[in-house]
Amino acid sequence: MVTLILSGIGFVSAIPLEIDPIDYNQINNSNYDTARNITSPGMYYLTENITGTKCIIISSDNVTLDGKGYFLNITGDYGIFSDTHTNITVKNVKINSTLYSGIVFENINSTTVENNTINTSSLSSLWGSGYNFTVVNNSMSSGFGGNYGLKQLTTYIITGNTINGKPIYFYKNEENIGEIPSDASQIIISNCTNGQIKNLTLDENAVVIYIGDSSEITVENCTIKPNIFEDYTIYLINAENCNITNNTFGISENTDFGVIRSHYSNNITISGNTLNEMAMGFVLFDIANLSIFENNFENVYGVAIGGYGISDVYVYTNNFINSTRMDVENITFNSPANVSYLYNGAVYSGIAGNYWNDYSEPEAIINNGIWSIPYAVTDSINDSYPLVKEKPNDGKIHLTQSDFDSETGYIINKSGTYVLDENITCGMGIGINANDVIIDGWRHCLVRTGLEESAGIYLLDGTNENIEIKHILLKNWAVGLSAPYNFMEHPNSDISNMVVSDCKFECNNIGVVSIGSENTKIDSCEFINNTNEGLLPLGAGMLIQDSNANITNCIFEYNERGTFLEGIDVTIDSCNFINNTNGLIPAMFYNGTVTGCTFENNDYGITTSDFAIVKIDVQENTISQNNFIENGCGLYLGGVNNEVYLNRFENNSQNIDSRSLFGNYFHSPEVTYEYEGETYTGRLGNYYGEELGTSNAGIFEKPYGIEGMMMRK
């Protein structure tokens, strides 16, 4: 390792030595147009300050150019250029190059650049490639750059060079190089191990860090904002087991640059860095086993991450803010295993993706801080676990556990849409004390942890209207949904236009209680294992005492009672009552309809014989086109003037209790129907799983049980 440090060389004119005109070739203003192209071996020197638009070209081997302390001012090109030659020396020249690099050597072997002062606005004052390159005691305004590789750099001698007075540190072929000094302007590491670049400010006009053919190099807690144009601040070439973490990459004068470029590297970690207002983020070529996480990409206006030839690269828990353009293949935009991540101030654990500030999926739901719909990174690559980061500002009121009091829950006092962003546990649930309220559970669970008489969602005063409740699991409550809350004290509640959809009521005493409501709709809900083990003795999926209620596409399974029904003009359509003690229990039921439902494996499919019924008054209802399958008793129907027809009874221990026959009609009104391509008019009964004589126009000739009980075959 060579770490000789020299201060910047000033612009003081040297006194030329006596020159033997036979051994030296003079270059001055008068002969510059021809003398600037050196085509023969020999010693060349400047005799005065020279100004021109074109550079000195060395087109021969074995050339020494000695500036003798004079200026070479080039306004339109490089200062000095040579390509594919050997044994070149440039020394003692003060170069001002306004457009490009001061000295450019391409594929030059056995070269010495010594004691020069180079000022240029270019990214590199000195650019070179080749073998046996000696760069000593040069004072530069920008960096030392080139097409480096292991075989080249390990033949270099680089010492005593500065950028604007700050030393360039060069390390090669060394183990345990340790911590880089804090006054570094540029760091070049080749074929080394165990180095720490920490707590530095690197803001010179240069590729400030080059790590080639090295391992276990850490770049940490640095502020990196070089004034470069169209290049990268850090290069990793054939590097291994390196970490770039908690650095700030900012802008200086130019913004058209990138942050990290890596080729042929393995097992690299890039984490906790901040990028702001640059053209490129990280560009990767033929790289494997890379983790990019917890970085902030903000206003990266080009490609935030790009490259090809990539394998086992994981990008997760990063923030992409106005920085979503990618040009990648084979990158996985989520963590390979469970990680911790933040959502709205709380810590969660799981497979996590990234935060994208332009995420826009109106139908997506939040599940513990992760959106349910993937984010399209490119046409072929998704982030399947996009992070929410904080409560969305979408006009909705997003609720998390922190919004709930452990005992009293959360009270809604104004209209709006309320969304659960995570599962909630509390003593009381959500109380509604307003009209025009939507509660969207986004398929999260509201679970009771408090008193047995508590309710999951409840309407406080019994005079609410336009309430919608959807996509929520209510579990372990005395009443999952109570409308109103204290229905014992509000028998004359005034609740209208309540909609409950895609909800699940599980392990409550009663899933839904709705008393005195009008125009209630309950659609596509599940009522599972609601029993009488709580404070209330009823044990039911639903208790409905409403008018104009519509219950459709619901599932009632393993309940003590599926639905306890009282009301006027209530429709139950396309519901499944399976494995309940009693499926549907009508008590005070008028002018209702039960149609298209399946009653299977219940003790009773439909029954009015239940100890909880105080008074039976079931009149003028229609029970039609239902399936009663493998129940203890399919139908036990008290009341009068009810019409039961076009139902299917199969494999029940008892299809119909005989007490159901009195005062009810087991056939349809006169209807027009088709049978085997023919049209008929008549009354139709039910099907009982057996043939009753011959069929006449779809109706068996023998009655079932009593006269008049007949059905199409």
490 located within any domain: yes
- Which of 239-248, 384-393, 628-637 is predicted least confidently? 384-393
Eight-state DSSP code of residue 658:
G
Question: Is pLDDT above 90 for 121?
Answer: no
What are the tens digits of pLDDT across the range 604-627? 999 988 777 767 788 899 999 999
What is the rounded CA–CA span in Å between residue 684 and residue 670? 8
433 within a domain of the structure (yes/no): yes
Angle at 184 between CA 180 and CA 189, to 5 degrees: 55
Predicted pLDDT of residue 252: 58
Is the per-residue pLDDT at 101 higher than 60?
A: yes
Which one has a higher pLDDT value, 99 or 154?
154
Q: Is residue 504 part of a domain?
A: yes
Q: Note the pLDDT tens digit of each residue in 419-449.
A: 998 899 999 999 999 999 999 998 899 998 8
Strand partners, 430: 410, 457
Q: What's the pLDDT at 13?
A: 38
| pLDDT of amino acid 293 | 97
How far is residue 708's CA from residue 359's CA, in Å, rounded to a whole number?
Answer: 65
107-116, 250-259, 670-679: which is most confident = 107-116
Residue 380 scores a pLDDT above 50: yes
Residue 68 domain-assigned (yes or no): no
Span of 356-370, 530-544, 633-647, 648-662 with lowest mean pLDDT: 530-544
pLDDT band at 60 (very low <50, low <70, confident <90, very high): very high
Q: Is residue 242 part of a domain?
A: no
Q: 434: which 2 tokens?
A: 């307003």
Angle at 632 between CA 627 and CA 638, to 5 degrees: 75
pLDDT digit string, tens, across residues 440-496: 998 899 998 866 678 999 998 768 899 999 999 999 999 999 998 776 665 566 789
Alpha carbons 413 and 423: distance in angstroms, whole number: 22
Domain encompassing residue 514: 422-549
Q: From the DSSP assignment, how many helices (H) and strands (E) are in the chain?
A: 2, 81
Whether 488 maps to a domain, the answer reads: yes
Q: Is residue 538 part of a domain?
A: yes
310: its two tokens: 């990539």
Locus of tokens 């005062």: 663
| pTM attached to this predicted model | 0.71
- pLDDT at residue 5 greater than cutoff 60: no
Tell me how far apart the alpha carbons of residues 403 and 437 are, in angstroms, rounded to a whole number: 17
Total structural domains within the chain: 1
Beta strands in 107-231 (DSSP E): 109-114, 117-120, 124-128, 133-136, 139-140, 143-145, 157-159, 162-163, 166-172, 178-179, 186-190, 193-198, 201-202, 209-212, 215-220, 223-224
Mean pLDDT of 24-38: 93
pLDDT-derived band of residue 554, with 50, 70 and 90 as boundaries?
Answer: very high
Q: Determine what percent of the chain is predicted with pLDDT higher than 90.
A: 66
Q: What is the pLDDT of residue 66?
A: 97
**699 vs 334, 658, 673, CA distance in Å?**
64, 22, 12
Alpha carbons 655 and 703: distance in angstroms, whole number: 14
Rounded to an integer, the average pLDDT of 631-648 is 93
d(CA 583, CA 604): 6
Residue 32 lies in a domain: no
Report in angstroms the alpha-carbon separations of 208 from 170, 184, 247.
12, 9, 13
pLDDT tens profile 66-99? 999 999 999 988 999 999 999 999 999 999 987 8
- Compute CA distances 293 → 45, 140, 222, whole Å: 55, 36, 17
Query: Cβ(712)–Cβ(673) under 8 Å?
Result: yes
pLDDT attached to residue 244: 97
pLDDT band at 535; cut points 50, 70, 90: low
> If pLDDT is split at 50, 70 and 90, which confidence band does 57 have?
very high
Q: Which residues does residue 455 pair with via DSSP β-bridges, in sequence order?
A: 479
How far apart, in whole angstroms, are the C-alpha atoms of residue 262 and residue 470?
A: 50
User: CA 515 → CA 27, 476, 498, 536, distances in Å?
Assistant: 106, 21, 12, 16
For residue range 493-516, what is the model confidence (pLDDT) as tens digits? 678 999 999 999 999 999 999 988
Beta-carbon count within 10 A of 439 CB: 26
